[in-house]
């Protein structure tokens, strides 16, 4: 089951996905897997709109791996470095 990386909610718990899924004849889970640009099929995580904005609108999918030697600044000085 997929869930938001930020708030932990599943697609059926998020109103915008319930509405969009009903309009397209899918379940909220199916909608996220096929239409949500931040969905990561490896981890089954995505960002809902509120968490995407709160995270600073990161490019790419949730839990994106950065190439060796790259530093991804997450927020206010936090990075992906150990």
For 43-66, the pLDDT digits (tens) are 999 999 999 999 999 888 888 765
77 pLDDT tier (thresholds 50, 70, 90): low
Per-residue model confidence (pLDDT) at position 78 = 55
Per-residue pLDDT, 9: 97
Total-model pTM? 0.74
Strands (E), the chain: 3-4, 45-46, 73-75, 78-79
Pairwise CA distance, residues 21 & 14, whole Å: 11
């Amino acid at each position: 089951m997929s869930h938001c990386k930020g708030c932990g909610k599943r697609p059926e718990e998020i109103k915008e996905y319930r509405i969009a899924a009903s309009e397209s004849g899918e379940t909220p889970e199916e909608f996220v897997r096929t239409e949500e640009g931040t969905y990561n099929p490896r981890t089954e995580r995505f960002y809902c709109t509120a968490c995407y904005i709160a995270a600073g609108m990161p490019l790419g999918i949730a839990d994106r791996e950065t190439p060796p030697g790259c530093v991804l600044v997450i927020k206010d000085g936090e990075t992906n470095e150990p």
